[in-house]
Amino acid sequence: MVIKKLFGFICERQIPVLIPYEELSLVPMLDLISRYHDIPFIYSNLPWRGETEKRNLFPVMEQCSNLFIDTIPSPHRGIEEVVRHFGSGRMVFSSLYPFREPGAAISYLMYSEISEDDLENIAYKNLARLFNRIVL
């Protein structure tokens, strides 16, 4: 009951919800984002270890347009692959600072082989769009 009220409020206000993978694996996450399809969810710190995660994650992203992912951790050319499949509008930059030094994450994004527009979307514009939708 409390969770339903909380997510009702979040939905009314269009507040993005950040959920780390460590707190909720993909199957329960799919259930949550399917029930609350008007809430933008940012799924953080995914375990990109290889093709298995991509085979599981990409169909969920295709099914749920309210699912965003962050850039950390990302496999070699992972940013490019997400942009190729979904465009740059579904990914937000993350460095996991203060838990990690941000230099590697910044470099990984800056040297990714994507357009300048895609880079700006991921670096800050996507998150700005999500924040601008919040109803106060």
Q: Helices marked H in the chain — which ranges? A: 2-13, 26-35, 51-63, 78-86, 103-110, 116-120, 126-132
> Which residue's structure tokens are 């507040």?
15
Is the pLDDT higher at 97 or at 133? 133
| CATH for the stretch 16-132 | 3.20.20.140
Burial label, 33 (beta-carbon count in 10 A; 0-12, 13-18, 19+): buried
What percentage of residues in the chain have a pLDDT greater than 70?
Answer: 93
Q: What confidence tier does 51 reach under pLDDT thresholds 50, 70, 90?
A: low
Assess whether pLDDT exceeds 80 at residue 48.
Answer: no
The residue-averaged pLDDT of 119-136 equals 96
Per-residue pLDDT tens over the stretch 65-111: 999 999 876 677 889 989 999 999 999 999 878 888 888 889 989 99
Pick the closest to residue 65 from 24, 27, 36, 94 (CA basis). 36
* CA atoms of 14 and 56, how far apart (whole Å): 27
Burial label, 113 (beta-carbon count in 10 A; 0-12, 13-18, 19+): exposed
Taking the model in full, what pTM does it have?
0.90
What spatial distance separates the first Cα and last Cα of the chain, rounded to whole Å? 23
Is the pLDDT higher at 52 or at 113? 113
The residue-averaged pLDDT of 110-123 equals 96
Computed over every residue of the chain, the mean pLDDT equals 90
Half-sphere exposure of 10 (CA within 13 A, CB side): 18
